[in-house]
Amino acid sequence: MRTIRIIPCLDVDEGRVVKGVRFLDLVDAGDPSKLARAYDEEGADELVFLDITASSGNREIILDVVERTASQVFIPLTVGGGIRTVEDARKILRNGADKVAINSQAVARPALISEIAGEFGSQCVVVAIDAKHVLNGSGDISDQNSWEVYVKGGRVPTAIDVLKWATECQERGAGELLITSMDRDGTKAGYDIDLMREISSLVTVPIIASGGVGEPEDFLIGAREGKADGLLAASVFHFGECSISQVKKYLLDNEIMVRL
Amino acid sequence: MLAVIDYKIGNLQSAQKAFEFLGAKSCLTSDIQVIERASGIVLPGVGAFGKCMDSLEQSGLIPHILKQIARGVPFLGICIGFQLLFESSEESPGKAGLGVIDGKVVKLPAGEKCPQMQWNRLSVLDPTNRLFTGIDTGSWMYFVHSYFPKPTKQECVIATCDYGTTVVSAVDCNNVFGVQFHPEKSGQNGLRLLSNFVDLCE
């Protein structure tokens, strides 16, 4: 039985959740571990923390956040951001994360994927891929089924083909792919279904769809047509535009299996 | 005191954190004296069968763990710690497991996403089993695995899940328990299972 996971994502800067969080009556909605607990109670199947701390001197702060969260929340936790070496991954996992997500560093040095997988197992390694359609000279999408990998938080194009990269990530030992459509991110126009479907058909590891979700129907299309195994969202949950339980009920009503 | 076996592979802390949360006396340890005095032993772990078995062998703890099992001390294997109880695995041909339970570990069927990395519902075959007190059939647990054990003796299987085939998800062979899912990552249901294990160690 295939069950779809609903995954809220929290951006964490120097130990604080950024992008305002308006749902729930939390005393401190900026505390990632408190929010994690709230999402757990609401029925999240898994959590992703993305450490966007710019200053490398403050990178250790996330370890404390992970430790506090993992001592109280007993669902899978993925942590990404700033992981460059096996030792970086080890610290994150030691503090209670179950998986690490790597993105720019995997592109810069693809061997990092196999190094972490070799040390901790493939199930620990999520490769996050930021994908964007290639545009032609007049600014139109040149090929509906072609995307380029971007790195450094989506700022830097790499000329690497997303589908080729996704396949390589799996071959190198990634246990899961987190695919973000930069064309859709923040638009609330729904996931990039073509992108998700293409990658799903290429790889056997689970894929998590990210970027663009605006309403419960978008989650349904992501699972049904995009063939995603996990559905990630940030702002729709943070701002209470839809609740996790509401999304799950909608999916169940439409015969997509989720944990309730 | 519960001994959570530290055999120097990745990500062993989660189970220990869950026991701490439950208020159970437990420690992550590779100390022989602690293991020999423990009221219960937990073997957690993620990773490949061969590599984990190598680490366990290098730890020098195997004879002590086996001695405790033979004495009747309750034992709980989680995920790869469950698979290591068997004789061998298709994942690492030629590598012998602990052989505490007869049978071998086989790959999940083709045609399903591999690994199974998701929540799945348990079919509890033996609701009277002490490990499942308060955990009904249909309860959700979190799975991450590409292989699963096939015990020779079916009567020790106490729970299964459905993933393209019937996947053995929990066994009880006298004092030796094993679960394929991660109770330490399965929310309230998983915490209840760990708490049941703590109770039966007393």
| Structure ipTM | 0.91
Task: Identify all chain B residues contacting A68, using CB atoms and an 8 Å cutoff.
Answer: none
Q: Which residues contact A95 (CB under 8 A, 6 or more apart)?
A: A63, A64, A66, A67, A70, B13
Q: Note whether A124 contacts B163, CB cutoff 8 Å.
A: no
Q: Note whether B48 contacts A90, CB cutoff 8 Å.
A: no
Q: How far apart are CA B53 and CA B30, in angstroms?
A: 15
Q: Note whether B121 contacts A175, CB cutoff 8 Å.
A: no
Contact status of B83 with chain A (Cβ, < 8 Å): no
| Residues B133-151: tens digit of each pLDDT | 999 999 999 999 999 999 9
Q: Note whether A120 contacts B119, CB cutoff 8 Å.
A: no
Contact status of B140 with chain A (Cβ, < 8 Å): yes
Read off the amino acid at residue B65.
I
Residue A25: pLDDT over 80 = no
Higher pLDDT, A158 or A153: A158
Distance of CA A237 to the CA centre of its chain: 14
Q: Note whether B13 contacts A94, CB cutoff 8 Å.
A: yes
pLDDT reported for residue A30: 83
Determine the distance in angstroms separating the CA of B46 from the nearest CA of chain A, rounded to an integer: 7
Read off the amino acid at residue A25.
D
Residue A26: pLDDT over 60 = no
Residue B160: pLDDT over 70 = yes
pLDDT reported for residue B12: 80
Using an 8 Å Cβ cutoff, are B160 and B59 in contact? no
Residue A200: pLDDT over 80 = yes
β-strand pairing of A156-161 with A147-151: antiparallel
Q: Note whether A123 contacts B115, CB cutoff 8 Å.
A: yes
Nearest to B17 among A3, A71, A122 (CB): A71
Tokens 């071998």 sit at which residue?
B104
Residue A28: pLDDT over 80 = no
User: Cα dihedral sign for A9, A226, A190, A169?
Assistant: positive
Q: What is the CATH number of the domain that holds B52?
A: 3.40.50.880
pLDDT reported for residue B93: 95
Q: What confidence tier does A120 reach under pLDDT thresholds 50, 70, 90?
A: confident
Residue A22: pLDDT over 60 = no
pLDDT reported for residue B64: 97
Read off the amino acid at residue A93.
L
Residue A53: pLDDT over 90 = no
Q: What is the mean pLDDT of chain A?
A: 92
Task: Identify all chain B residues contacting A229, using CB atoms and an 8 Å cutoff.
Answer: 113, 117-118
pLDDT reported for residue B31: 96
Task: Identify all chain B residues contacting A98, using CB atoms and an 8 Å cutoff.
Answer: 11, 14, 185
Six-digit token string for A124:
């620990």
How large is the average pLDDT for residues B115-126?
95
Task: Identify all chain B residues contacting A71, using CB atoms and an 8 Å cutoff.
Answer: 17, 20-21
| Residues A66-117: tens digit of each pLDDT | 999 999 999 999 999 999 999 999 999 989 999 999 999 999 999 999 999 9
Task: Identify all chain A residues contacting B47, using CB atoms and an 8 Å cutoff.
Answer: 120-121
Contact status of B142 with chain A (Cβ, < 8 Å): yes
Q: What confidence tier does A165 reach under pLDDT thresholds 50, 70, 90?
A: very high
Residue B199: pLDDT over 80 = yes
| Residues B47-102: tens digit of each pLDDT | 889 999 999 999 999 999 999 999 999 999 999 999 999 999 999 999 999 999 99
Q: Which residue of A has its CA nearest to B144?
A: A123
Residue A27: pLDDT over 60 = no
Range of the domain at B10: 2-200
Q: Which residue of A has its CA nearest to B161?
A: A1
> Which of A45-59, A148-162, A200-214, B61-75 comes out lowest in average pLDDT?
A45-59
Q: What confidence tier does A145 reach under pLDDT thresholds 50, 70, 90?
A: confident
The closest alpha carbon to A99, from A79, A119, A72, belongs to: A79
The closest alpha carbon to A76, from A59, A93, A60, belongs to: A93
Query: For testing the chain B interface, which of A123, A251, A256, A257 should be mutated: the one with the most B CBs within 10 Å?
Result: A123
Determine the distance in angstroms separating the CA of B98 from the nearest CA of chain A, rounded to an integer: 20
Using an 8 Å Cβ cutoff, are B100 and B175 in contact? no
Catalytic residues of B: 79, 182, 184
> Which of A18-32, B32-46, B178-192 comes out lowest in average pLDDT?
A18-32
Q: Note whether B114 contacts A229, CB cutoff 8 Å.
A: no
Query: For testing the chain A interface, which of B22, B28, B83, B113 should be mutated: the one with the most A CBs within 10 Å?
Result: B113
Task: Identify all chain B residues contacting A177, using CB atoms and an 8 Å cutoff.
Answer: none
Residue A5: pLDDT over 70 = yes
Q: From 3.20.20.70, 3.40.47.40, 3.40.190.10, 2.40.10.10, which CATH number describes the A5-253 domain?
A: 3.20.20.70
Specify the number of domains making up chain B.
1
Determine the distance in angstroms separating the CA of A3 from the nearest CA of chain B, rounded to an integer: 6
Q: How far apart are CA A9 and CA A20, in angstroms?
A: 13
Query: Whats the size of chain A, residue-wise?
Result: 260
The residues spanned by each domain of chain A are 5-253
Catalytic residues of A: 11, 130
Q: What confidence tier does A29 reach under pLDDT thresholds 50, 70, 90?
A: low
Residue A23: pLDDT over 80 = no
Q: Note whether A1 contacts B140, CB cutoff 8 Å.
A: no
Nearest to A206 among B20, B113, B120 (CB): B113
Q: How far apart are CA A180 and CA A149, in angstroms?
A: 10
Task: Identify all chain A residues contacting B184, using CB atoms and an 8 Å cutoff.
Answer: 74
| pLDDT-above-70 percentage for chain B | 100
Using an 8 Å Cβ cutoff, are B134 and B196 in contact? yes
Q: How far apart are CA B28 and CA A217, in angstroms?
A: 45
> Which of A156-160, A212-216, A239-243 comes out lowest in average pLDDT?
A239-243
Using an 8 Å Cβ cutoff, are B49 and B92 in contact? yes
Q: How far apart are CA B50 and CA B16, in angstroms?
A: 23
